[in-house]
Amino acid sequence: MSSTITEINRSFVLRAIKDVAFEDRPIPKLRDEYEVRVHVAQTGICGSDVHYWQRGRIGDFILQSPIVLGHESSGTVVETGSKVTNLKVGDRVAIEPGVPCRRCDYCRSGSYNLCNDTIFAATPPWDGTLAKYYTVASDYCYKIPDTMDMEEAAMVEPVAVAVQICKVASIRANQTVVVFGAGPIGVLSQAVAKASGAKKVIAVDISQSRLEFAKKYAADGTFLPPRAEEGVDPVAHSEKVARLIKEEFELGEGADVVLECTGAEPCIQAGVNVAIKGGTYVQAGMGKEVSLSIRFQPPGKLC
């Protein structure tokens, strides 16, 4: 079933590094009878969109031809495949942007996020959701309640990222959690950590305005690291930052859980050092393609 569609598919296209433009593209057709076409209402801009725009790659995913950006979206179903039973035309949905193969060992074990054959929106060579219309597997669209607006629905995807980060960390009641980064994913991770029962959540960032927002949103405390003095060894400075965090927030030998949501080398170094021995460190932020070396006595496990 479908509603009448006569328009063109206005799309925001990354043509090459630092070269983006609006293009009029054909209305995308359903690829099989289990797909739906969604009229996109709201789309968030993710850090990965910025990476592709500025650098043309994320790890092994390299821009080799133009792609539509965007993957944090909500919208209204305007067409359904003949075998779709969970949705109908007119349903308001949040879109899960990564559709796995469903057949590999990872998928069959439930860890579909590890599938090597995932079609992920706005990851080369696949187009994303910053377009008027987007087609996607029907079981990767989720009906939203009438009380949720489309902007909130577009936030479902980044919230799911924060939930997964905290799930990997196995955050439990009464734990102390330090989150490096007070950007969208960092702030959402702080909120999910609190909802998971953490007794103390500390936000660390180099932006005072972001820290002020984090304090209003979910963090129990905030920390603005001092700048490294000229000529000081970066590892020594990271150890100093970790010590200051532990002292200011009375963390004793360290935090039970550290969530690193920046990918910045100084934060990674400080994060490892602020974790208590036997604690948990989760690397969520994406930094340089080349991994860095960190000199430290491992205080916990790396997830």
Instruction: Convert the pLDDT of each residue in 32-90 to its tens digit.
Output: 999 999 999 999 999 899 999 999 999 889 999 999 999 999 999 999 999 999 999 99
What per-residue confidence (pLDDT) applies to 125?
95
Beta-sheet pairing, 275-283 with 300-302 = parallel
pLDDT tens-digit map of 221-238 = 999 999 988 888 999 999
The pLDDT assigned to 290 comes to 58
**Taking residues 133-157, what's their average pLDDT?**
97
Model confidence at 214, in pLDDT bands (50, 70, 90)? very high
Find tokens 């054959």 and name the residue: 117
> Beta strand pairing status for 35-44 and 200-204?
unpaired
pLDDT digits (tens, 9 = 90+) for 266-290: 999 999 999 999 999 999 998 776 5
- Residue 274 in tokens: 């602020």
Look at residues 19, 46, 51, 54 and name the one whose alpha carbon lies nearest to residue 129. 46
- Residue 70 backbone class (left: φ over 0; alpha: ψ -120 to 50; beta: rest): left
pTM value is: 0.87
Domains and CATH numbers, the chain: 9-154 (3.90.180.10), 159-302 (3.40.50.720)
Report the share of the chain in percent with pLDDT over 70: 93
- At 297, is the pLDDT very low, low, confident or very high (cuts 50, 70, 90)? very low
Q: Helix, strand, or coil here: 79?
A: strand
pLDDT at 289: 64
Q: Could you tell me which residues come within 8 angstroms of residue 122 by beta carbon, excluding any fewer than 6 positions away?
A: 48, 49, 52, 67, 68, 69, 70, 71, 97, 128, 129, 130
State the DSSP code for 68.
Answer: E
pLDDT beyond 60 at 260 = yes
